Amino acid sequence: MLNTDFMLQVAKATIKGVPVTLEIVIVSLILALPISFVFALLRLYSVKGGNQFVKLYVSFIRGTPIIAQILIVYSAFPSLLASFIGKSAFAIDPINYAYIVFTINAVASLTEVFRSALQTVDRGQYEAGTMVGMTSSQIFRRIILPQALVSALPNLTNITLGLVKNSALAFIMSVKDITAIAKTEAAFNYSFLEAYLVLWVYYLIISYAAELIFKSLELYFGRYRKQVKKRHYSNKEQLISVTTDKRRSPAQG
């Protein structure tokens, strides 16, 4: 049977890693969002040079396993830094390298997300904006961007969940996240299954919380996409057309 006392002990020890895992996820996201947004714009507006660079960057990062990226950053950066600032480079908290890798990684996928999200807003709305006299930047800020961000949210959720899961690899860079702590506990007590089950539950909770947060953001900011349920139907036919046809509601007044 499972040793529940030990599991509780692991749970207690591992909880210290939760903020570290969350930090990796949140910091990387916060750094990656603006960068990838700019990258997406460079692509969309075919900015000379920038467009090529971003294209290359994205296929470069997406075409290599994250573990390779971790190994490269973790072996290259400290010595690279050392050549500038000397030995103190090796004393830098390794979590900073985690931020770098996961940001680099998230930027690649987020760029594509923003690019397609910005394209989901049809050109007609842009034209309507110009015809009421709005400037391009007003249309972008007030019409296109808000809609693009909402349509990016589902993909943003997926990328965040991927980030949560990938952050488990940070232990390779000797970051003390939940995986690292659980591994240590497991090895110390020779109870691997128990420790990893606890770990599993932690990731489940974190992922679920992240999903919940994004879902509510989507509900709140995407409320303009929701058809309000009409409360009174004069006959069955109307009910059918309300549920099958998203764009038209037959109830007039």
> What is the number of other CB atoms lying within 10 angstroms of the CB of residue 46?
9
**Region near other proteins per CB under 8 A, out of 9-17, 67-75, 77-85, 242-250:** 242-250
Binding string, residues 115-144; x marks residues near other proteins by CB under 8 A: -------x-xx-xxxxxxxxx--x---xx-
Q: Which of 96, 98, 111, 212 is nearest to 163 (CA)?
A: 98
227 lines the binding site for other proteins (CB under 8 A): yes
Enumerate residues 6+ apart whose C-beta is below 8 A from 50.
42, 43
Helix (H) or strand (E) holding 165: helix 145-166
108, 61 in Cβ contact below 8 A? yes
253 lines the binding site for other proteins (CB under 8 A): yes
- The distance of closest approach from Cβ of residue 243 to other proteins in the complex, given in angstroms and rounded to an integer, is 14
Among 147, 157, 166, 167, binds other proteins (CB under 8 A): 147
Residue 4, class by beta-carbon neighbours within 10 Å (0-12 exposed, 13-18 middle, 19+ buried)?
exposed
> What is the number of other CB atoms lying within 10 angstroms of the CB of residue 16?
12
231 lines the binding site for other proteins (CB under 8 A): no
234 lines the binding site for other proteins (CB under 8 A): no
Comparing CB distances to other proteins, the nearer of 52 and 125 is 125
**Interacting residues with other proteins (CB under 8 A):** 122, 124-125, 127-135, 138, 142-143, 146-147, 150, 223-228, 246-250, 252-253
